[in-house]
Amino acid sequence: MSTSIRNTQIHSVERAGALESSFRFKFQNPKKIVEPYIKPGMTVLDLGCGPGFFTTEIARLLDGSGKVIAADIQDGMLALLRQKMTGSDLEPMIQIHKCQEKNLHLSEKVDFVLAFYSLHEMRCLDNILDEIKFLLKPNGKIFIAEQKYHVSKSTFSEIICKMEKKGFEITRQPKVFISRAIVMKMKIPNK
């Protein structure tokens, strides 16, 4: 049976502007946060992409080679992203994908998953983590960040514990303003 994290309130579309404010950009510059992990040619899953704060920057860093799968459960968030990218040079690099509450419904393998302020919102987190494990290519990584004042330390630890039980290990603990952040990859089995 799939268990869920306690704090599952989804950020509303009506408040999407806060996700892309100039204040946030100043203290959580998307390029600075994801640049160490993104290389041209990658396939990147922006899980819980919202209006695309990270999506468009990831697409720029791919430099014309690779793609971003921008996944969200809310049609309104995806509509905001679609509006932002339509007609831009980034449009061919971004695949918009509507998730379901219990499943991502993706089969394409990915090199990197960005789950920025999103895992705590997922009611069926175990299902989603199983799918991420399936989708990640060998040596693929997942970057998880949650806001300190919105997601408790114990809830963040619970997410990490779930990841570790599924075979992931911590590779990095990047510093992100007012956030807890971690990068993980699948453990390599001992031979």
DSSP for 31-94 reads HHHHGGG--TT-EEEEET-TTTTTHHHHHHHTTTSSEEEEEES-HHHHHHHHHHHTTSTTGGGE
The token duo for 125 is: 């987190």
Residue 16 has pLDDT above 80, yes or no: no
Per-residue CA distances from 130 to 71, 96, 183 (Å): 16, 21, 17
Give the span between the Cα atoms of 177 and 27, in whole angstroms: 6
Give the span between the Cα atoms of 135 and 110, in whole angstroms: 6
Give the span between the Cα atoms of 111 and 45, in whole angstroms: 8
Percent of the chain at pLDDT above 90? 72
Q: What is the mean pLDDT of residues 87-108?
A: 94
Per-residue CA distances from 104 to 70, 158, 188 (Å): 11, 21, 25
pTM, 2 dp: 0.88
Give the span between the Cα atoms of 115 and 50, in whole angstroms: 11
pLDDT of residue 27: 80
Residue 73 in contact with residue 10, Cβ under 8 Å?
A: yes
CATH superfamily of 16-186: Vaccinia Virus protein VP39 (3.40.50.150)
| 116-174 pLDDT per residue, tens | 999 988 889 999 999 999 999 999 999 999 999 889 999 999 999 999 999 999 999 99
pLDDT of residue 23: 60
